[in-house]
């Protein structure tokens, strides 16, 4: 080796060490640490414009993240492939499961977008879910790992918990998918931006709390209020008495809020929005890679928008109710004092259809 070649090699080595970290240039002047993340900016623009009407809090969309991923079982590897996109690929099987009623609309909205951008169904579902909740006031910023295979396995009937299931049955099913009782509560943070259409089909878009487009702790407060009436056409399988006109309570949510195995995690969120968001980010990151090997995926979290900050860290007692209406259920900690809104009971309006 000549001195000159050696010199060149040394210069190159020094240049490599000193080189500024190279970021890939993506569309719209945006950059990414890994070039494979660039296409997700285009997917982002498309779903913000066409799935979320210019960036609204996409509450129904993250339901699919769960219904796809939960087709996973430690005890029965044949139960499904986890977060693999099978709810889209095998929609004719999976969207007909009773627990997946109503998911067919979202599946058919997402399918053409995933195909258009050439991304796997599994990636698309988890990405859209993370973007949807990032649009909510106070929303989480969920990790997004890209690169799931487009090959999936149809989930088996019975992997998705149902609202009429007992707490023991729900915790057993979720435990078999790898989630502790506290993590089941953490996953249910999703219900703070959610509504029902199918448990009682006579009322549409009846939300699970009075602030369904805010990622706030109201769901955890209001599920603990004493139930007084049904918002729709009386008692339904999977429904329970709710505290406010127009508001819907799933039977499973009412029971999990009060069960000794889950009540303290439930109560921990009523005055702690920040804790709620951090727990949700953690458990959603876990759920999004069920059945996947995360080491084979690329971290494209930087594409997920930064949500607007929450306006308050605490939930409140809605007007017309008092702290005495709370059915406190955590045996080891007193229920915290919450702000009480004065005035008469205000009916909760339905969330508009998307
Ligand atoms: C114990 C587990 C769970 C049960 C029994 C359950 C049950 C339900 C039911 C019955 C509905 C109403 C569907 C309808 O009638 O239209 C619903 C809505 C919803 N759930 Fe869950 N769920 C569970 C966990 C989760 C998880 C883990 C997530 C997400 C990570 C999730 C996200 C949602 C969303 C976003 C909606 C609202 C859909 C809409 O607004 O149309 N749920 N859930
Ligand atoms: C994923 O599979 C579906 C068929 O289930 C196909 O239509 C789609 O083009 C595939 N997407 C990719 C990125 O390969
Ligand atoms: C309401 O429920 C009653 C009985 O529970 C049933 O006969 C009636 O058809 C229901 N109404 C609607 C609009 O579904």
240-256 residue pLDDT tens: 999 999 999 999 999 99
Query: Using an 8 Å Cβ cutoff, are 217 and 269 in contact?
Result: yes
Q: What is the mean pLDDT of the chain?
A: 93
Q: Which residues have CB under 8 Å from 273's CB, separation 6+?
A: 138, 215, 216, 217, 310, 312, 313, 314, 315
Region 28-53 average pLDDT: 96
How confident is the model at residue 21, as a pLDDT? 63
Residue with tokens 């059945």: 291
Determine the Cα–Cα distance for residues 216 and 276; give it in Å rounded to an integer.
8
67 is catalytic: yes
- Report whether pLDDT(2) > 60: no
CA of 204 to the centre of ligand 3 (A): 15
Residue 9 has pLDDT above 50, yes or no: no
Instruction: Say what the pLDDT of residue 325 is.
Output: 98
What's the 170 CA to ligand 1 centre distance in angstroms? 13
Give the mean pLDDT of 31-52.
96
Q: Give residue-wise pLDDT tens across range 157-216.
A: 999 999 999 999 999 999 999 999 999 999 999 999 999 999 999 999 999 999 999 999
- Atom number of ligand 3 nearest to Cα 201: 14
Above pLDDT 90, what percent of the chain? 89
Q: Is 90 in the pocket of ligand 1 (CB under 6 A)?
A: no
Q: How many CB atoms lie within 10 A of CB 271?
A: 21
| Gap between the terminal Cα atoms of the chain | 69
CA of 344 to the centre of ligand 3 (A): 29
Q: Whose CA is nearest to atom 2 of ligand 2?
A: 150
Whether this model's pTM surpasses 0.75: yes
Q: With a 6 A CB cut-off, is 202 part of the ligand 3 pocket?
A: yes
Q: Is the minimum distance from the CB of 237 to ligand 3 under 6 angstroms?
A: no
67 CB less than 6 Å from ligand 1? no
Is 86 annotated in some ligand binding site?
Answer: yes
- Confidence grade of residue 19 (pLDDT, cut at 50, 70, 90): very low
Please tell me whether residue 13 adopts helix, strand or coil conformation: helix
Distance CA 277, CA 293 (A): 25
Q: How far is the CA of 297 from the centre of ligand 2 (A)?
A: 18
133, 196, 204, 348, best to mutate for ligand 1 pocket (most atoms within 8 Å of CB):
196
Q: What is the pLDDT of residue 20?
A: 53
């Amino acid at each position: 080796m000549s001195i000159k070649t050696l010199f060149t090699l040394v210069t190159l080595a020094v240049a490599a060490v000193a080189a500024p970290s190279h970021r890939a240039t993506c569309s719209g002047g945006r950059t990414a640490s890994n070039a494979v993340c660039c296409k997700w900016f285009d997917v982002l623009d498309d779903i913000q414009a066409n799935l979320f009407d210019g960036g609204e809090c996409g509450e129904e969309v993250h339901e699919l993240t769960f219904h796809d991923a939960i087709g996973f079982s430690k005890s029965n590897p044949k139960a499904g492939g986890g977060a693999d996109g099978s709810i889209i690929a095998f929609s004719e099987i999976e969207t007909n499961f009773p627990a997946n009623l109503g998911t067919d609309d979202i599946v058919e909205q997402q399918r053409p977008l995933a195909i258009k951008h050439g991304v796997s169904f599994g990636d698309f579902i988890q990405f859209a879910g993370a973007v949807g909740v990032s649009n909510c006031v106070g929303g989480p910023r969920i990790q997004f790992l890209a690169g799931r295979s487009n090959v999936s396995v149809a989930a088996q009937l019975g992997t998705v918990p149902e609202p009429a299931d007992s707490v023991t049955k729900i915790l057993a099913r979720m435990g078999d998918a790898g989630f502790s009782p506290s993590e089941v509560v953490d996953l249910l943070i999703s219900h703070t931006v959610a509504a029902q259409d199918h448990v009682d089909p006579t009322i549409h878009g009846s939300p699970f709390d009075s602030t369904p487009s805010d990622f706030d702790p109201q769901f955890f407060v209001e599920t603990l209020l004493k139930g007084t009436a049904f918002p729709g056409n009386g008692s339904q399988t999977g429904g329970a008495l709710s505290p406010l006109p127009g508001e819907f309570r799933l039977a499973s949510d009412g029971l999990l809020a009060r069960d000794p195995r889950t009540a303290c995690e439930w109560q921990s969120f009523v005055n702690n929005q920040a804790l709620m968001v951090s727990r949700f980010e953690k458990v959603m990151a876990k759920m999004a890679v069920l059945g996947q090997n995360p080491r084979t995926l690329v971290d494209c979290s930087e594409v997920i928008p930064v949500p607007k900050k929450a306006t308050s860290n605490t939930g409140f007692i809605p007007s017309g109710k008092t702290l005495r209406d709370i059915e406190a259920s955590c045996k080891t900690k007193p229920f915290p004092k919450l702000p009480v809104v004065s005035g008469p009971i205000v009916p909760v309006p339905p969330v508009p259809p998307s």
